[in-house]
């Protein structure tokens, strides 16, 4: 957002008549300043634009019949207008945007993940029960084996739709949703022998068919009295086939019955239809499962063993990453902080380069550099040694840490450089006068002062590395795999990559419910660690007193 040039205010103030200024003077003691005419105009115009857009969006929502969102949008619009039109309430004017974004991007996401964590949302439980029933019914419509295809025309008589069939033998019949199959003798045929019209009926063209497609798709005309021969339906308005459902749904008892075997499938309470022998129809639906996902996260034998080691490695990885990047960044910052160093700018630019590359890309490039046989590291630097940097469990962990150090130290270098600039040089001199060596100065004076401003950033860095998906996923993909689990989890997996593998089915299908439960667990861990650390950093600030 650009700021409007300030001169307009001066102009407005200068040109505004004196009496009004006199009138406004008492108001200066309130929590808001007097508005200039221009200011009010700008306000009105901007708010008008916002409201116009809001009304447009609400109209769209009204058309789409999403009432809940419509109500929320209306409430938000009214609130925004009230905040910015009222005279007082300056804090609200400041806080509104921030609070809004916090709600949308943080609170909502956490709450939604929380909601999903209590459902069985995932492969096979993708939607509502209604959807599942209709999907099973759609898929159960199978064509009667060896039944012929009928060429079809769609006719209309006083609003009722009829299908006109021509069998491969040239027999012409017709029927509708209510009228059974009857033979037609006076049909008009085209050159190919397909019946296209019957006197007394209007033949629909393709556009008319499309306009009434839902009604046409619903027409099913039984071929004969024998239900085994199925009913004729037309999927495209030009051809019909005899379809027979392999499954029938009974709404009264809420069961599916397999026409062939006679097996009945009932709602098993777990979001699927199941038969007495336990076999399930593959399409299920989303239901609430309470704390099942959380229980599974800690009891599922394929998850339990790896979860512990993954948790440990996640902590190791994030803490080690913070310490290493901070140490290297600080060291370099101090090194390059000398006033008498030449070409400082060039060095600093070079330092920041790794930070400028997207981690995605760097991960892939490093993955190539570390290839056991063809990687540049083994080939060029180590003279053809075939070291499995990414394929040996221990080396892979080290490689991940080193690459993350390479990616992360520039950030620390930057913030440390900034923080060092702000340290008063008198302290340094005073300490030297007192006879402290350079290391002593660093340990007792510089580092504590630095930590005051940098500690919160270290905590942020920890939280970031705790969920540093890119490096792990692009570099090792979490591998090499653990031997003690059937899940595709490996020794460099951190919690977030494990969650990704669970959620996006790198093996046994997607399981959003379990993944959300794990994500909530991660959230709790990171929030706890951060809260404790922030409490600790308060102690650091006593240095300043």
Partner 1 sequence: MKLPNISATPVSRRVFAMGAFSAVTAVALSACGADNKPATSSPTPSDLAAGGASTITMWVDAERAPALKDIAAKFKAETGIEVKLVVKDFSAVRDDFITQVPTGKGPDLIVGPHDWVGKFVQNGVIAPVELGDKAAAFTATSIRAMTFDGATYGVPYSVENIALLRNKALLPAAVTTFDEVVAAGKGVVDAGKAQYAFLVGLDPKQGDPYHLYPLQTSMGSAVFGTDAQGEYDAKQLVIGGPEGIAFAKKLVEWGDTGSKVLNSNITGDIAKEEFKNGKSPYYLTGPWNVPDLQAAGIDLAIDPLPTAGDHKAQPFVGVNGFFISAKSANALATTSFVTNYLTTEDAQDSMFTTGGRPPALIASFKKAAKDPIVEAFGKIGEGGVPMPAIPEMDAVWNDWGATELDLIKGKADPATAWPKMADSIKSKIGA
Which CB, 104 or 532, lies closer to partner 1? Answer: 104
User: Residue count at the site for partner 1 (CB under 8 A)?
Assistant: 109
Counting contacts by CB under 8 A, is residue 102 touching partner 1?
Answer: no
CB of 497 within 8 A of CB of 469? yes
In the 8-state DSSP scheme, what is residue 169? T
Among 376, 507, 527, 543, binds partner 1 (CB under 8 A): 507
> Where does this chain touch partner 1 (CB under 8 A) — which range of 123-131, 223-231, 324-332, 515-523?
123-131
Which CB, 261 or 422, lies closer to partner 1? Answer: 261
Quote the CA–CA distance of 114 and 128 in Å, as a whole number: 19
Enumerate long-range contacts of 487-491, CB under 8 Å, 24 or more apart: 487/302, 487/303, 487/306, 489/306, 489/310, 490/393, 491/309, 491/313, 491/393, 491/396, 491/397
Which CB, 206 or 534, lies closer to partner 1? Answer: 206
Chain positions 172 to 231 lying near partner 1, rule: CB under 8 A, are: 204-214, 216-217
Which CB, 82 or 298, lies closer to partner 1? Answer: 82
List b or e across 141-164, with b for residues whose CB sees 16 or more CB atoms inside 10 angstroms: beebeeeeebbbbbbeeeeebbbb
Among 10, 179, 186, 270, binds partner 1 (CB under 8 A): 10
CB of 480 within 8 A of CB of 385? no
Which CB, 209 or 407, lies closer to partner 1? Answer: 209
Chain positions 465 to 504 lying near partner 1, rule: CB under 8 A, are: 476-477, 479-481, 486, 488, 504
In the 8-state DSSP scheme, what is residue 288? B
Residue 286 in 3-state DSSP? coil
Which CB, 6 or 425, lies closer to partner 1? Answer: 6
> Where does this chain touch partner 1 (CB under 8 A) — which range of 305-313, 331-339, 353-361, 388-396?
388-396
* Nearest CA among 155, 193, 144 for reference residue 171: 193
Q: How far is CA 33 from the centre of its chain?
A: 43
Which CB, 237 or 354, lies closer to partner 1? Answer: 237
Output the smallest distance, CB 465 to partner 1, in A.
22
CB of 173 within 8 A of CB of 184? yes
CB of 314 within 8 A of CB of 466? yes
Chain positions 283 to 302 lying near partner 1, rule: CB under 8 A, are: 283
> What are the tokens at 409?
């130290």
Among 235, 290, 358, 448, binds partner 1 (CB under 8 A): 235
Which CB, 359 or 459, lies closer to partner 1? Answer: 359
Which CB, 99 or 312, lies closer to partner 1? Answer: 99
Counting contacts by CB under 8 A, is residue 361 touching partner 1?
Answer: no
Q: What is the CA radius of gyration of the chain?
A: 36
Output the smallest distance, CB 408 to partner 1, in A.
23
> Where does this chain touch partner 1 (CB under 8 A) — which range of 235-243, 287-295, 315-323, 536-544?
235-243
DSSP assignment of 232-251 equals EE-SSSSEEEEEEESEEEET
Output the smallest distance, CB 509 to partner 1, in A.
6
Neighbours of 271 (CB within 10 A): 20
Residue reference for tokens 């804090």: 91
Mark 306-345 with x for binding to partner 1 (rule: CB under 8 A) and - for no binding: ----------------------------------------
Output the smallest distance, CB 440 to partner 1, in A.
44
Output the smallest distance, CB 196 to partner 1, in A.
17
Neighbours of 20 (CB within 10 A): 12
Counting contacts by CB under 8 A, is residue 509 touching partner 1?
Answer: yes
Which CB, 212 or 348, lies closer to partner 1? Answer: 212
Quote the CA–CA distance of 241 and 223 in Å, as a whole number: 10
* Rounded (5°) CA angle 539-421-413: 80
Chain positions 23 to 82 lying near partner 1, rule: CB under 8 A, are: 32-36, 39, 42-43, 46-47, 49-50, 53-54, 57-58, 60-61, 63-66, 69, 72-73, 76-77, 80
Among 23, 82, 104, 443, binds partner 1 (CB under 8 A): 104
Which CB, 62 or 534, lies closer to partner 1? Answer: 62
Question: What phi and psi values does residue 190 have, to the nearest 5 degrees?
Answer: -90, -170
Output the smallest distance, CB 118 to partner 1, in A.
18
414, burial (CB in 10 Å: exposed 0-12, middle 13-18, buried 19+): middle
The end-to-end CA distance of the chain, in Å, is: 39
Quote the CA–CA distance of 133 and 251 in Å, as a whole number: 10
Which CB, 13 or 295, lies closer to partner 1? Answer: 13
Among 82, 101, 115, 376, binds partner 1 (CB under 8 A): 101
> Where does this chain touch partner 1 (CB under 8 A) — which range of 134-142, 175-183, 457-465, 522-530?
134-142
Counting contacts by CB under 8 A, is residue 270 touching partner 1?
Answer: no
Chain positions 137 to 176 lying near partner 1, rule: CB under 8 A, are: 138-139, 141-143, 149, 156
Give strand ranges (E) for 251-406: 255-258, 264-267, 273-274
Among 167, 337, 508, 530, binds partner 1 (CB under 8 A): 508
Counting contacts by CB under 8 A, is residue 97 touching partner 1?
Answer: yes
Counting contacts by CB under 8 A, is residue 436 touching partner 1?
Answer: no
Task: Indicate the Cα dihedral angle 40, 44, 47, 48, nearest 10°.
Answer: -170
Among 94, 291, 360, 534, binds partner 1 (CB under 8 A): 94
Counting contacts by CB under 8 A, is residue 136 touching partner 1?
Answer: yes
* Nearest CA among 291, 269, 288 for reference residue 280: 269
Quote the CA–CA distance of 246 and 143 in Å, as a whole number: 9
């Amino acid at each position: 957002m650009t700021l409007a040039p300030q001169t307009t205010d001066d102009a407005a103030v200068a040109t505004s008549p004196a009496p009004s200024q006199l009138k406004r003077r008492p108001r200066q003691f309130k929590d808001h300043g007097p508005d200039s005419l221009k200011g009010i105009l700008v306000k009105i115009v901007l708010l008008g634009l916002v409201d116009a857009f809001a009304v447009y969006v609400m109209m769209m929502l009204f058309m789409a019949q999403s009432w809940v969102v419509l109500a929320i949008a209306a409430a938000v619009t009214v609130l925004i207008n009230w905040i910015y039109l009222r005279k007082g309430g300056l804090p609200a004017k400041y806080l509104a945007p921030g609070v809004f974004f916090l709600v949308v991007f943080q609170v909502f996401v956490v709450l939604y993940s929380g909601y999903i964590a209590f459902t069985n949302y995932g492969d096979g439980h993708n939607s509502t029960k209604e959807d599942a029933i209709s999907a099973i019914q759609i898929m159960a419509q199978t064509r009667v084996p060896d039944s012929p295809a009928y060429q079809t025309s769609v006719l209309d008589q006083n609003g009722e739709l009829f299908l006109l069939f021509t069998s491969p033998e040239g027999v012409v019949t017709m029927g509708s949703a209510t009228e059974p199959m009857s033979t037609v003798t006076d049909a008009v045929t085209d050159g190919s022998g397909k019946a296209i019209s019957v006197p007394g009926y209007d033949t629909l063209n393709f556009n008319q068919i499309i306009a009434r497609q839902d009604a046409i798709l619903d027409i099913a005309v039984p071929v004969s009295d024998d239900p085994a021969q199925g009913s004729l339906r037309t999927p495209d308005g030009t051809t019909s086939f005899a379809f027979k459902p392999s499954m029938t749904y009974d709404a009264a008892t809420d069961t599916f019955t397999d026409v062939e075997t006679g097996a009945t499938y009932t709602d098993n309470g777990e979001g699927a239809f199941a038969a007495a022998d336990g076999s399930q129809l593959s399409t299920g639906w989303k239901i609430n499962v309470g704390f099942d996902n959380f229980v599974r996260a800690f009891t599922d034998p394929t998850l339990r063993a790896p979860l512990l080691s993954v948790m440990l490695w996640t902590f190791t990885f994030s803490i080690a990453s913070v310490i290493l990047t901070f140490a290297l960044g600080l060291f370099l910052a101090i090194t390059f902080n000398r006033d008498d160093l030449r070409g400082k700018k060039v060095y600093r630019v070079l330092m920041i380069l790794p930070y400028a590359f997207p981690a995605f890309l760097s991960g892939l490039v490093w993955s190539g550099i570390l290839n056991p046989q063809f990687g540049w590291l083994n080939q060029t630097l180590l003279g053809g040694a075939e070291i499995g940097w990414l394929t040996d469990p221990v080396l892979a962990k080290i490689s991940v840490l080193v690459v993350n150090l390479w990616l992360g130290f520039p950030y620390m270098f930057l913030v440390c450089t900034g923080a060092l600039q702000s340290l008063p040089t008198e302290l340094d001199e005073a300490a030297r006068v007192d006879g402290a060596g350079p290391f002593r100065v660093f340990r007792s004076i510089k580092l504590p002062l630095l930590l005051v401003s940098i500690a919160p950033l270290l905590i942020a860095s920890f939280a970031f590395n705790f969920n540093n998906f890119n490096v792990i996923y692009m570099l090792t993909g979490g591998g090499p795999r653990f031997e003690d689990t059937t899940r595709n989890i490996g020794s460099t997996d951190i919690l977030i990559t494990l969650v990704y593998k669970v959620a996006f089915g790198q093996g046994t299908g997607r399981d959003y419910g379990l993944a959300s439960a794990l994500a909530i667990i991660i959230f709790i861990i990171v929030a706890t660690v951060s809260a404790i650390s922030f409490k600790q950093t308060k102690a650091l600030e006593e240095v300043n007193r």
